[in-house]
Amino acid sequence: MNFDKKVVIITGGGQGIGETYAKSFAAAGASVVIAELNEEGGQRVADEICQTGGKAAFIKTDVSSEENAAAAAKFAKDTFGGIDILVNNAAIFHGMRYDTLLNVDMDYYYQIMKINMHSPLVMTRAVVSYMDERGGGSVINQSSTAAWKTQGGYYGVSKLGVQGLTMCLASELGERNIRVNAIAPGPCDTEATRQVPEEILSHVINGLALKRLGETDDIVNMAKFLASEEGGWITGQTFRVDGGDTMLPA
């Protein structure tokens, strides 16, 4: 899949799966904008892409802010000429506090929802007019297999909301040739997962049909397919890329 002359915005692209998104799309020829709150991580990834001959730029972005989202979209247009693909990867997960829905501090709950569930809408609204200029585009939202698991708590609720948002936006934007899909990763080998105690992680892996953690490339390969011409008649769907973590009827 070749993304020459395509411009991609990756939110939360300064680490983890987001970093792999950024580097993989750049390696496939895309110009990449890393919209990331972490300045050090976002700039590092952009620099590393440019050092290997790719095209990338970083802009500090609070993805829940309409003003920041608009600035990131304008930056992509001014820097690379337009926007073709948006990957809404940014989320609160690593270091997240765990509590029950009945006991979680409501201000913290609202913050989780603002970033994890509402920011994909904020960012999508910011890029739509630029995608119109290019004749269409592709939006890929990051969900999670936690959406199907009650132990996921408010994180799972936020990711289930992303799936509903994906379907509604796909319906609204289809006539503008903008496709909207979601990916629900299972347990992957990221910095966040490496903080999980070994005995718990072993239990998680043993529960998978494929007895290994996912690699970030496993997730990104699906995203590249969905963003490509080969995925051109797919919209409104959530794809579980999880090694058999969730085996559910379609």
List residues with catalytic annotation: 155
- Interatomic CA distance for residues 81 and 132, integer angstroms: 13
Give the other-Cβ count within 10 Å of 126's Cβ.
26
The amino acid sitting at 182 is A
Closest by CA to 235, choosing from 159, 184, 182, 185, is 182
Of residues 182, 162, 186, 59, the one with CA closest to residue 114:
162
Backbone angles phi, psi at 124, to 5 degrees: -65, -45
Handedness of CA 234, 237, 241, 247 (dihedral sign): negative
Tokens representing 204 are 């998680």
CA-CA distance, 76 to 58, in Å (whole number)? 10
Q: Contact 159/200 with Cβ under 8 angstroms?
A: no
Contact 72, 33 (CB under 8 A): yes
Sequence-distant (6+) residues with CB within 8 A of 161 are 113, 116, 117
Neighbours of 37 (CB within 10 A): 18
- CA 73 to centroid of chain Cα atoms: 16
